[in-house]
Amino acid sequence: MEPLRAPTAAENRLLTDRFGRVHDYLRISLTDRCNLRCVYCMPAEGMQFMENGKHLTFDEIEAVVRVAAKLGVRRLRLTGGEPLVRPHVEQLVARLAAIPGIEDIALTTNAIFLAPKAEALKQAGITRINISLDSMRQYRFAQITRGGDISKVLAGLEAAFRVGFHPIKLNVVLMKGFNDDEVDDFLRLSMEREIHIRFIEYMPIGHDDDGWRNRYLPLDYVKERCLALGLTPQPEAAVFGNGPAEYFRLPGAKGTFGLIHPVSDHFCERCNRLRLTADGNLKPCLFWQDEFNVRNYIGDEQALADLFFRALDIKPETHEMAKVLFGERLSHQPTERRMSQIGG
């Protein structure tokens, strides 16, 4: 393997795109498979998952991350699908944590399988956990996930506290008519425990039909609920991590809540991330279809580095999810992949 040369004077930008955004964060999808079937992530008929042999191997993922680290990537997030359905994830974590330059490895999980694996993941090098939990009511959780058992998620959450992950964040995709009446419950949870609730707008990833439009709810609704409860949220410094959430703390609360509003108030000007899909495609933007497959370049560090720069060279200044909401013309082609096929 040839050593990676330093960027030329023209390239002396590390992973900086045309708009001056420095990319130091790589989200890695380990699999498109998931043990749940969430309504915003998969169609009712389910997905045609890729064959196991088409997933990037641990060796391939490590090779990509080694190059990314030399280009300035410092933070990683492992996603899916559900990453914990991939066997021996802790072995990959340990390998990635040993790469010079990598400072932080986080995990996004539905937590169904987290409880028995939490300690091993912590020891391997996972520092932070994001748990997807869109309802705290069993019947509704089963409805949203099409059959999930919330007791296993709650056990995983307690295990995350027990082994010392910090911070712990809960990701809540807010959907009109599905879970908008639980905002108060999640706000109370942020008051009672040192946990960070992140309300996320429902995004038109892989689908832009009327079903999405009818369920979409802008996150101003969360602030309205705070005021209805007689509570005034105070702006809070960003909780450690890589995300774009705008954080608040309620009076006397142990935790915080955050708002991630990619549709109503996009945050593209602060984007610092690239995505690597489970089948080996480097995506510069979650919403647009552009992607570059890394497989043919693994083993040639310079060619792989050049691929990163190619991805950044075509990264648009912004996604246009708000235009989808209003049926307006888009400047690029949206992705046809569903969220589980990209990694979020």
- Whether 3 maps to a domain, the answer reads no
The pTM score is 0.90
Is 312:15 a contact under the CB 8 Å cutoff? yes
d(CA 334, CA 208): 10
- Whether 7 maps to a domain, the answer reads no
pLDDT digits (tens, 9 = 90+) for 229-281: 999 999 998 776 656 788 999 999 999 999 998 777 666 888 899 999 999 99
Q: Match 């000007």 to its residue by tokens.
A: 269
- Whether 2 maps to a domain, the answer reads no
Strands (E), 33-181: 75-79, 104-109, 128-132, 168-174
User: What b/e readout covers 183-192, taking b as 16+ CB neighbours within 10 angstroms?
Assistant: beebbbbbbe
- Whether 195 maps to a domain, the answer reads yes
> Closest Cα partner for 254 from 170, 305, 194?
194
Query: What CA–CA distances, in Å, run from 162 to 45, 54, 118, 155, 191?
Result: 37, 36, 9, 10, 19
- Whether 4 maps to a domain, the answer reads no
pLDDT digits (tens, 9 = 90+) for 32-80: 999 999 888 887 777 788 887 899 999 999 999 999 999 999 999 999 9
- Whether 1 maps to a domain, the answer reads no
- Whether 268 maps to a domain, the answer reads yes
227: left (phi over 0), alpha (psi -120 to 50) or beta: alpha
d(CA 304, CA 294): 7
What range defines the domain where residue 112 resides? Answer: 21-342
- Whether 8 maps to a domain, the answer reads no
Average pLDDT over residues 104-122: 98
The answer to which of 105-119, 151-165, 232-246 has the lowest mean pLDDT is 232-246
Query: Residue 213 pLDDT more than 90?
Result: no
3-state secondary structure 194-249: CCEEEEEECCCCCCCCHHHHHHCCCCHHHHHHHHHCCCCCEECCCCCCCCCCEEEE
Query: Residue 105 pLDDT more than 90?
Result: yes
Query: Residue 333 pLDDT more than 90?
Result: no
CATH number at residue 187: 3.20.20.70
Query: Residue 3 pLDDT more than 70?
Result: no
Note the pLDDT of residue 243: 65
The total domain count for the chain is 1
